[in-house]
Amino acid sequence: MKTHKISIFKKLEFSTSFIRKEMWLSGIFLGIVIFLLWCWVYGRTSIFAWQTPLSYGGDAWLVLGFAKAYMDADIFPVAYKWVAHLNAPFSANWNDYPLTEEFIFASMGWLGKVMGLFAAANFMVLLAHLLAGLSFWYVGRELKYRPAFVFAGAILFAFSHYIVCRSLPHIVLSYYWHVPLILLVSWWAYSSTTIQTKSRKWLVAVAVAVISGTLNPYYTGMFLQFLGFAVLLHLARKQYHLISFPLLMLGLTLGSFLIMNGDTLSYSWLFGKNPSAVTRILGELELYALKIPDLIFPPAYHRWHAWAQYGQNHYFLPRMIKGEMESSYLGIMGLIGLAWLAGAALYRLLQGRLQLIPVHAWQFLWVLLYSLVGGINLLLGTFGFILFRGTNRYSIVILAIVLLFLVRQLSRKCPDKWVLPLALGVVIIGLWDQLPPKVSDIQIQQTSGFLKSDRNFAKELEAQMLQSTMIFQLPVIAFPEYGTFKQMADYEHLRPYLFTQHLHYSYGTNKGRSDADWQMELSKLTPTEMATKLESYGFGAVMINRKGFEDKGVKLISELFNTNRPVLSDNGELISIRLNPAVTTISPTVYSNGWSGYEGDHRWAVSKRAEINLWNNGNIPKSVTIEFSLNTLKPRNVKIGINDKILQNASLGISGVAVNLKLNNIILEPGQNTFFIETDTLPELPGNGDPRKISFGISNFVIKEN
């Protein structure tokens, strides 16, 4: 009898060991299949192709620019972000732009040091596909679905139409790999079974919660909503002992999110909010919301031409609200899973057996109600909660739900002899449906040619310039999210930055802090005046993007030629013209804390104290004269000073009548000096429809060296 028990234990041990090895081997095989498919579809089968990024334009420039800042060690995750190579003559302030997904860009930049920036960008996109497939595979195996169907579902999830559309330009959305995991953890949270502390499930859930807080807020937000429903569910059931698990997951996710955004949040708390850095308006919640036909109709390039053309003619082309189109398509298998889920839920509903409706159906219903045009997200937006503007992006959560349901049902319903043929059919049909047209060698060469032109331009410029030379870029464009300007796409000013190491560019600081307003004011000068002013600031060249001018910059360039300033390099779109930087330089005036934006010839203070940063680039103090005019809407007294030293008191008495002030022999210490104006009266609404509360206005601010 004892020998028989030992034999059973040995068989169980062998069986467990075999299953573990099979899981590891099938996971490795899945990764190899995804890798080979990705390389084939995107034509990355040579070193030359790998050194050419999947995308080079628009938001891809922004992604590459973020990675370049990490590659140059200008910035680090979770720390304040000052980019030394941008916003010359200062450093670019990126502290107002929330970057929860910092480790994606940081990893791309750190890998770029080893394999080159563009190869690293391609690898990070590949990694997004790999992680998506492996995550789905893990969840399916954890739920004990049939391995063949799990493998098929993982392949389709790794090559969703969503990731094909998002790819490198929206890489933070492409990293949706944890979505199946957050679904799994939410299902554990709904369960009436206690999750034992430090058990394997508990450890997996903790890891998923922490990771979720470091990735895209859209997915984080939905995870928090699912966990919130778990808390409400246990409260309704009076299962109070089960609430601690979802509450812990909520706390870990929020804590991780706050850590990743600590730099942005603390900077805003210390220096005031900057609503201009990331603009969101209520109308965008409708524009970029989910529309049900988006889930059904394929993109124009789809292999089923008749269905694709039908969608274009009857929906996409005549559609009034465009938004983010053609990224939400679920695919044939996703739609089959959705239809099956809807049918199963409706059947149980008609039976009156609500407890048997799959959890997938409840989660799908919530995501739909939350994301749909005119849905819950828009309702929240009407009360000021405008955060998730692009709820069409929740289509990937829907896809994860319906694919997992499809795999579950196939695992339960399919006879053994049909498992492998059916799984193979799912893969073949799904990939035929979801894979984009293969990227050709000609397309790769075209992108590479564009890259080569920019690289040659930037390297020639860097070779002719001294180290740390500052380049002023025209036209002056705000950063980020400015949009197209003339024929110039957003983020085009980052193009030369991607290829140089020692040059500093004027573009690239967060809009709304006034530290780049001087650029707009300067760009309004005549070319000769502008060049002279830039030379006094220490700039060594002007770079002109011809696409940003109606006449392709012909007038501006010709006038700069007349000043005998030579062309340094020209690639047809970008042209750089040499300047002669002054030996002793001054810095532009920067309106820092407490000011509104520039309004043509003046600006208003929006607090009791407003500051202007003045720089002395020398090593010894220097004497200057400061002249300016102050205005007010109501009588007030002001104190004027520098570096906490009061220089003068003034009374502003008559609305609309400016007081001209002149401060002689003001000493600027080496480095930054803070010039301030402080009033004894709180800012208030002007009463003319302007929503700002303002105190005093300033104009004609001039500094002259003595």
Structure tokens at 56: 């080079």
Measured CA to CA, the distance from residue 117 to residue 124 in angstroms comes to 11
pLDDT score recorded for residue 656: 63
Q: Is the pLDDT of residue 484 over 60?
A: yes
pLDDT score recorded for residue 271: 77
Give just the sign of the alpha carbon dihedral 335, 337, 343, 345. negative
Q: Report, as an integer, the average pLDDT of 45-73.
A: 96
Q: What confidence tier does 15 reach under pLDDT thresholds 50, 70, 90?
A: low
Q: Which CATH class is domain 590-705?
A: mainly beta
Q: Is the pLDDT of residue 3 over 60?
A: no
Q: Is the pLDDT of residue 408 over 90?
A: yes
Of 601, 600, 611, nearest in space to 699 by CA: 601
Amino acid identity for residue 558 in this structure: S
Contacts with 337 (C-beta within 8 Å, 6 or more apart), sequence order: 402, 403, 405, 406
Higher pLDDT, 686 or 359: 359
pLDDT score recorded for residue 83: 94
**Side-chain half-sphere exposure of 165, counting CA atoms within 13 A:** 20
pLDDT score recorded for residue 7: 59
The region of weakest confidence among 76-90, 353-367, 552-566 is 552-566
pLDDT, tens only, 77-100: 999 999 999 999 988 999 988 889
pLDDT, tens only, 172-186: 999 999 999 999 999
Determine how many CB atoms are found less than 10 A away from the CB of residue 541.
23
Amino acid identity for residue 412 in this structure: R
Average pLDDT, the chain: 90
Q: Is the pLDDT of residue 343 over 90?
A: yes
Measured CA to CA, the distance from residue 300 to residue 668 in angstroms comes to 62
**Matching residue, tokens 């909520």:** 250
Measured CA to CA, the distance from residue 75 to residue 71 in angstroms comes to 9
pLDDT score recorded for residue 564: 62
pLDDT, tens only, 298-327: 999 999 999 999 999 989 888 877 778 788
- Cis upstream peptide for 691 (omega within 30°): no
pLDDT, tens only, 518-550: 898 888 888 888 998 899 889 999 999 999 999
Q: Of all residues in the chain, what percent carry a pLDDT higher than 90?
A: 60
Q: Report, as an integer, the average pLDDT of 396-419.
A: 96
Q: What confidence tier does 398 reach under pLDDT thresholds 50, 70, 90?
A: very high
Amino acid identity for residue 606 in this structure: V
Q: What confidence tier does 8 reach under pLDDT thresholds 50, 70, 90?
A: low
Strands across the sheet with 602-604, in order?
A: 602-604, 696-705, 622-632, 659-668
pLDDT, tens only, 255-276: 999 999 999 999 888 877 777 7
Contacts with 627 (C-beta within 8 Å, 6 or more apart), sequence order: 660, 661, 662, 663, 700, 701, 702, 704
| Four-point Cα dihedral 617, 621, 627, 630, nearest 10 | 90
Higher pLDDT, 278 or 661: 661
Instruction: Please report, for the chain, the start and end positions of each structural domain, with discontinuous segments joined by +.
Output: 35-177, 179-272, 288-439, 444-578, 590-705
- Are 589 and 614 in contact by the 8 Å Cβ rule? The answer is yes
pLDDT, tens only, 95-128: 988 889 999 999 999 999 999 999 999 999 999 9
Q: What confidence tier does 13 reach under pLDDT thresholds 50, 70, 90?
A: low
Higher pLDDT, 564 or 637: 637
Of 477, 468, 469, nearest in space to 519 by CA: 477
Q: Is the pLDDT of residue 21 over 80?
A: no
Of 193, 171, 45, 52, nearest in space to 118 by CA: 52
pLDDT, tens only, 321-337: 777 878 899 999 999 99
